[in-house]
Structure formats: structure tokens, C-alpha cells
Chains A and B, each alone.
Chain A
Amino acid sequence: MKDLASLQDEFQRAVLEGDDAVLAELVDTSKENRNVLLNVYRNAYVLRLIDFLSHDYEKLYAYMGDGQFAQMARDFIAANPSATPNARWFGAGLPSFLRDNNPYRDIPVLADLADLERALNDAFDAEDAVVLGLVDLKAVVPDAWPMLVFAPHPATRRLDLSTNAPDIWTALHKDETPPQPRTPGETNQLIVYRSDGMAAFRPLSSDEAMMWDEAAKCVRFSILCEMLSIYGGEENAAARAASYLQGWINTGLLTSVEVED
């Protein structure tokens, strides 16, 4: 008699690879043969994982349509058997799969859309943390402002996308016909965040994106202002920095501020 470990190994290979060896361990019924019954598991495996992906990447699904999405999902599933007990994380590797594998890497908008949806999903159920308020900043004495360092809220994500995927996402979100995919030449710089429990995103100017990226590395406010003046021009650099900071606080992008000695 085959031991339990060998039996499970064979059964799994039957589902993943179509290997028929396990059929020798199964029995027919008077109504149906074992191969048809085994196929219930084989079919369910693929259909269930396609279903997970279509929920996690619902805009990509809408954009590609049933047939193309299902084929893409089958390719992904074949290359990436799930290693996680929680279906929530099964599709996490889809953006990089689309970016790295033919024929999908030739259509960069697909990976960009997937990247955006993954970031939104991750923001939605990211770790909770207090949200920095304007009142917290007002408590900081003026002399301490140059030494301020900020901590991004754990739900924030930065994305740099080469295509107009954000416009496509927005059109699909409004049930409108999406625009043709384009690669505009300038990078679409986005911040993804959570507001009132829901995930959202907005574009950043290159100026603001640079300041955010540096702030997220715990660079002091005085240096952020200097970098802004070098990067985006001296005029109103401090005012621009203050304005960006206020916007971040108003949309809950920061969790804390500290004065660095």
C-alpha cells in the first residue's frame, strides 16, 4: 500500500501537472469513472485560482476581457503554483510576471495596471497606524522645523509607471471606455494611500515625488527644502515644501514626525 506522503505527492502532481499515476489508487463508481471524478479537482484548481486573480485584479480583468485574462491567468498559475495558505497573497507576483514574461512584457500597460491594483490592494489592508494631523505639526516649535523627519503611513505606496495605466484604471472605475494604451515618455509618478478605510491614488509632480521619496528615507525637512530648491528651482522652495507637507497630512500619508538631533 502506498504511504500517505506518496499518495499526496501523486495526487498533487495529478492536479498540478496532469500526471495520471494517482488514478491507480482511486476507484470507479457505478455511475462514473475515476478519471472524470479526478478532473473535478483538476478543473477546480485552475478555476479557483483564476477567480482569485480576477478579484484581486478586477480592472486588469475588465481591460483584458474574459478570454485573454483567463489565458494570462493560466500562464501565471502554471509558472507560479501558490505557496501561501492565504489566497489574499497568491496573486502578489502577477505584476512582475507580466513585466518579465512574453507575450505580456511587450504590452507594458498590463504590468502597470497590475502594479497599480496590487498597490491599492496592499494599501487597503495594510497595517493600521495613527495618522499624523496638522495639530501635531503645530505643536512643533519653529526652531525644531529644520530637524523634522517624517514617517510614511504603512498604507502608502509609491509607484512609477511608464504608461497611462492610471487613466485606464480611472476610466474602468467609472465604467467608461478606457483610452488607448500609451507610453507618454514621462513617468507617471503616483502615491497610493488609504483614506477613510478605502485605497486611493493620486499623481505627484516630479518635484513632490522627489520630496516624498527622500522624506520616506528620513531625510530632514531642512535638507528636503534644499533638495527642492536644487531640483525644482529656488523660487518658493520652502513654500512648495510646506504645501506638499500639508497635502500629505490632509490625505493621511504620514504617521509620525520626530525632531532629529
Chain B
Amino acid sequence: MSLSSEKPDFIGFGLGLRPTHYPEILDHDPLVDWFEVISENYMVPGGQPLQILDRICTRYPVVMHGVSLSIASTASLNMDYLAGLKRLAERVEPRWISDHLCWTGVHDVNLHDLLPVPYTQEALDHVTSRVQQVQDYLGRPLTLENVSSYVSFGQSEMPEWEFIAELTRRTGCWLLFDVNNVYVSAFNHEYDPKEFIDGIPADRVVQFHVAGHSHMGTHIIDTHDAAICDDVWDLYRYALRRFGPVSTIIERDDEIPPLAELIDELDVAREIASDVLGKQKAAVNA
């Protein structure tokens, strides 16, 4: 059973909220349409992090983005974690709640990494069941993000995009489509990233991530510590053509530059979207 829900509205161009930018955001209300917050950073008892988050929520739309749901793990769902996530969602009232299509550990261990999934029917059945349980508990659809991966499994029975497309069909979950992750995984696993984009149901995508990465020659690592490269912007352009207007953020987790620099990078996303979507609109009106 999947939860029915209206597709969240397009909310424009945002940034990942990072503590180093708190003072500037609170003092100057920068021209950012919305913020994505790392859920776990605010799953704490109290104090300044939650107080600042409350203030940001009064000024900007906010989306919650987690890293520890471990939706593909064969371990039991962590109900304490889910209860904390639900409490935070009641406080934040986010536009949507996202996490990653991955697992983070088994046997009560958390590796704090976004670990790869074999694209098998067994894994699909398992993840489907878990997504349904989490959606029922939270009382709302989840939004799941495709991760960067560095290894692939010989037992996989379908490409990643087929796995994701079927998962959304079965569960009604939304997709956070990480353009950089598709670029990274496509390079690492030697497929055409456009084939991935073409295989994703356009009506399920509610958010884009764009980010930088580190090229190691034989493989690419998703480091979020650099400016976005031209190839990823090109793929973003292609994704916009396929998916239409999708709420977008720049993700930066390391070597975090001043806010103004990220806003400049966000303006690049705005310009590309305006260019692509403006032309689409012109084509429709012609």
C-alpha cells in the first residue's frame, strides 16, 4: 500500500544549511529561496541548534534531509531514530523529508556512510516493505535520494534507474534526484548518465541536488568539497529538460566557502533553469 499525497510545490533554489553560515543568514536574510537541513544535526535535546533552526523556519521554507535512516538495511528499523525524526518534523513542518536509498550498517553498527545496494528483486521487495513501514509511521511519503556508489554487485538484476522507478511505483515515495551522484556513479560504473535520467519517472522528482566531487582518474568520489564542474551543470540542464521545474539546492559539506560564493553558484543554477525552462515554455507557446 502506498500513501497518496499531492506532489510538493516547486520552492525554488536553496542551499544546505550549515552552522558556519548561521550569523549571516540570521543577520541579513540572504536571497535564498529555502534551506535543506541535515535532520540528525537537530535531533538533539535542545540548545542553540534548535533555537536557530526555529528562527530559520519562520523565515524560509525548510526541507529535512537525513543520513541515517538506513532504509535498505536488513537490520530492524531503528524506532528510536524514527521517533526522533518524527518529533523534529512536527517542530519544523518541513516541505518534505528525505534520506538516501542506501544502508548504513547492520548488527547494531553504524558505518556513517551511504552504502551501496545490489539491484535485485530481493532488495527491491525488502526496501519496498521498509519504505512503506516508514511512510506509515511518519504519516507522509518519504523522499529518497540516489547515492553515489563506487562498487557494483555481480548479482544485480537491473540497472539502478529501473530499481528506483519500480520503488516509486510500489511505494509512492518521491525522489530527490542528485545530479552529481548520477554523474559520479555513471562514470564509476560506465554507463550513460542520460540513460539514468531517461529511466526515472519525471512526475516523482521533487528535488535536485547539485554538488562538486573529486576525480581520481579511474573513479570519482562524491566529496561535496568543490565547486560544481561544467559536466555536472550540463547534466543538470539535461535533467531540467526531462523533469521540468524542480526545487534545487547546492550541497556543500566540506571546504565550505562564504555564503556569497554559494549564492553565486546558486545563481548559475537559476540561470540554467531559466534558460532551459524558458525555452521549453516558448516551445509550448509557439
Contact mask A31-62 → B, CB, 8 Å, 1/0?
Answer: 11010111011001100110010000000000
A36 / chain B contacts, CB cutoff of 8 Å: 218-219
Instruction: Assess whether B146 is interfacial by the CB under 8 Å rule.
Output: no
- With contacts A1-B155, A41-B151 taken as known, whether A85 is within 8 angstroms of B104 at the C-beta atoms is yes
Known A-B contacts: A4-B126, A45-B112. Give 20 more (CB < 8 A): A2-B155, A7-B118, A8-B73, A8-B74, A15-B113, A25-B118, A26-B152, A27-B154, A32-B219, A41-B151, A48-B113, A49-B112, A83-B108, A83-B110, A84-B110, A85-B78, A88-B41, A88-B44, A125-B45, A125-B46
Q: Which of A180-202 contact B (CB under 8 A)?
A: 194, 197-198
Q: Which of B42-64 contact A (CB under 8 A)?
A: 43-51
Instruction: Assess whether A128 is interfacial by the CB under 8 Å rule.
Output: yes
The contact of A82 among B112, B118, B123, B152, by CB within 8 Å, is B112
Contact mask B218-231 → A, CB, 8 Å, 1/0?
Answer: 11010000000000
Closest partner residue, chain B, to A34 (CB atom): B151
B residues neighboring A (CB under 8 Å): 40-41, 43-51, 68, 70, 73-74, 78, 81, 103-113, 115, 118, 120, 122-123, 126, 150-155, 188-190, 218-219, 221
**B43–A86 CB distance below 8 A:** yes
The contact of A126 among B47, B73, B74, by CB within 8 Å, is B47
**A125–B221 CB distance below 8 A:** no
* Bound-complex Cα distance A155 to B51 (A): 15
Interface hub of B51, B74, B78 (most chain A Cβ within 10 A): B74
Q: B77 to chain A: closest CB distance in Å?
A: 11
Contact mask A87-99 → B, CB, 8 Å, 1/0?
Answer: 1101000000000
**B153–A5 CB distance below 8 A:** no
The contact of A4 among B113, B120, B190, by CB within 8 Å, is B120
**A12–B118 CB distance below 8 A:** no
Instruction: Assess whether A127 is interfacial by the CB under 8 Å rule.
Output: yes
A16 / chain B contacts, CB cutoff of 8 Å: 109, 111
**B40–A38 CB distance below 8 A:** no
**Dominant secondary structure of chain B at its interface with chain A:** loop
- With contacts A40-B150, A41-B115, A44-B113 taken as known, whether A85 is within 8 angstroms of B40 at the C-beta atoms is yes
* Bound-complex Cα distance A36 to B220 (A): 12
* Bound-complex Cα distance A134 to B43 (A): 32
**B153–A26 CB distance below 8 A:** yes
Closest partner residue, chain B, to A26 (CB atom): B151
A27 / chain B contacts, CB cutoff of 8 Å: 151-154
A9 / chain B contacts, CB cutoff of 8 Å: 106-107
Q: A86 to chain B: closest CB distance in Å?
A: 5
B74 / chain A contacts, CB cutoff of 8 Å: 4-5, 8
**A29–B189 CB distance below 8 A:** yes
Instruction: Assess whether A221 is interfacial by the CB under 8 Å rule.
Output: no
Instruction: Assess whether A145 is interfacial by the CB under 8 Å rule.
Output: no
**A41–B150 CB distance below 8 A:** yes
Q: B199 to chain A: closest CB distance in Å?
A: 20
